[in-house]
Amino acid sequence: MDATIKSIRPSKPSDRQPESRPAELDPAEFLAAAVRADQPRPARAEAEAAVKTLLAYIGENTGREGLLDTPRRVVEAFDELYQGYHQCPAEVLDRTFGETAGYDDFVLVRDIEFTSQCEHHMMPFYGKAHIAYTPVERVVGLSKLARLTDIFARRLQTQEHLTAQIAAAIDEILKPRGVAVLIEAEHTCMSVRGVAKHGASTFTSRYTGMFRDNPAEQARFLSMVRGLTR
């Protein structure tokens, strides 16, 4: 979510800072897989030993029957939960279709369910992503937007970064006239620990091109996301 925090105290003209735009993401973040094939990584046995250490840390008896296979299961779960590190966002969006009969309005896919993991506590956050883009001549398969969301979600994340990555990847690879991304999610690091506020939702958004520059298009996007048919 793009936001600027302003002081409530009036400032002198000499104190004013020039307006700044949000920093652009490094294309390396979303054009290739996050993990190279030749990147050194711990062996599976080392990962399982680390899980066993954590079990002992919380006071568990790692030798009891119910926990004998837990280190193996946890590492297998990690392979599934974090598979996005090994997937390439650019490859998901690289096939487009030109048979659009001159379609020139935006395409919206809403209610894309996802689950991700908070990079601060390694606890799940989950919710829905709503994605729109205005194509230039060619469109991408609708399922690809869901796949793109999953690639970024299946990495350690913050919701703000996830939102920015999805928008930046679509903007860079498809070169549309504009992109709009809205994500709503519940964070278990807030609902089951800490302040323990169940049901609290977090909303983040990112707009590029015509959606950023035209408030009417933003409003139309939000209206369709919140449509009466939901």
So what's the pLDDT on residue 122?
A: 95
The residues, any chain, with a CB within 8 Å of residue 212's CB and separated by 6 or more, are: 178, 218
Active site residue 118: yes
What is the domain class of 88-225 according to CATH?
alpha beta
pLDDT in tens, 142-167: 999 999 999 999 999 999 999 999 99
So what's the pLDDT on residue 32?
A: 77
In the chain, which residues have pLDDT < 50? 1-14, 18-21, 229
Sign of the dihedral defined by the CA atoms of residues 219, 225, 229, 230, in that order: negative
Say what the pTM is: 0.85
Q: Of the listed 159, 165, 172, 217, which one is catalytic?
A: 159
Give the start-to-end residue ranges of the domains of the chain. 44-81, 88-225
Active site residue 187: yes
Structurally, at CATH architecture level, domain 44-81 sits in Orthogonal Bundle (1.10)
pLDDT in tens, 153-204: 999 999 999 999 999 999 999 999 999 999 999 999 888 888 888 888 999 9
Residue 138, Cβ density class (10 Å: 0-12 exposed, 13-18 middle, ≥19 buried): middle
Collapsing DSSP to helix, strand or coil, 85 comes out as helix
